[in-house]
Homo-oligomer: A and B are copies of this chain.
């Protein structure tokens, strides 16, 4: 599996066995994109952006308000981690996807797939966490569904949440709107969610515990709209981290995004943990961080707004015309390198 555009089943011929789903198909990297491009998009006839953006926006009737609609399944392992659990993650994650559409989150559905044998007190605890998270974002959980599968056919609990919001942005927000000259603003330090999960799962202890950044982002994002800050694109930096998400945006926008490595906030403990484990923090999943891409004349207002929520918010780069090259470049002390979308799986079941 090499090159920048692997096929979803490139290995089939070599093995003379049916191609199968690999863990990397769920990583958010190249294989996830291959699935979307080769199987989902041709079948569902979706526009290029519909299935790669955080959600869809819909008009139900001519002249009515536009809706945002987004879904995510959560399979994080273990169910509880420093800074959150599958309950809070599943609410914040879907609220954040709505916010990234410039929409005010309103209603959520919850679908549970429970493995036989899950302790009822564990379920109660997850549900209490969902309640608190929904309340923090003023969204209502209005419908739900529960299925139970036999022991060994699940892993405790899988959660799907799907959200409906009302679009508040006055102009479209999405990778297509990104323009040369735009500033790229990061809302806080990156890498904490993925490293919190990984440290817990691998039993690695650091002097300072790594706590997930799992949090709702609607107030940060919608506050920019309220403050009349023009926004071209918003993206929460979940699976695949900062790098993968910006590469997706660059590819859809057909632009080069140039980042300044020194401007990207990463905590010492995350940086240290990544070094020990041989991981690049720019590819590690976040659950409470986003990138805002805004016209340069709105950059300082946007930064000031985001710093009210997190003092580490920073302008980390800008969009270049890039002679038609869709890519993300990272300027480091030693020079400039291009960030690639990962082909394989950095680590599974982070969200």
Contact = CB atoms under 8 A, between A and B. Distances in A.
A102 to B, nearest CB: 15
A158 interface: yes
Interface stretch (A109-117, A190-198, A320-328): A109-117
Q: Counting chain B CB atoms within 10 Å of each CB, which of A26, A113, A160 scores highest? A: A160
A21 interface: yes
A199 B117 CA distance: 27
Given A65-B64, A113-B75, A142-B56, A23 B148 contact: yes
Nearest to A153: B155
Interface string A20-62: 1111111100001001100110011110001100011010110
Contacts of A113: 73, 75, 113, 158
Query: Which size class do A's interface residues fall under?
Result: 35 or more
A72 interface: yes
24 contacts: A21-B117, A21-B118, A21-B120, A21-B148, A22-B148, A23-B148, A27-B148, A39-B120, A39-B123, A39-B124, A40-B127, A43-B128, A44-B134, A44-B144, A60-B67, A67-B164, A69-B142, A71-B143, A72-B145, A73-B113, A75-B113, A147-B158, A154-B154, A158-B158
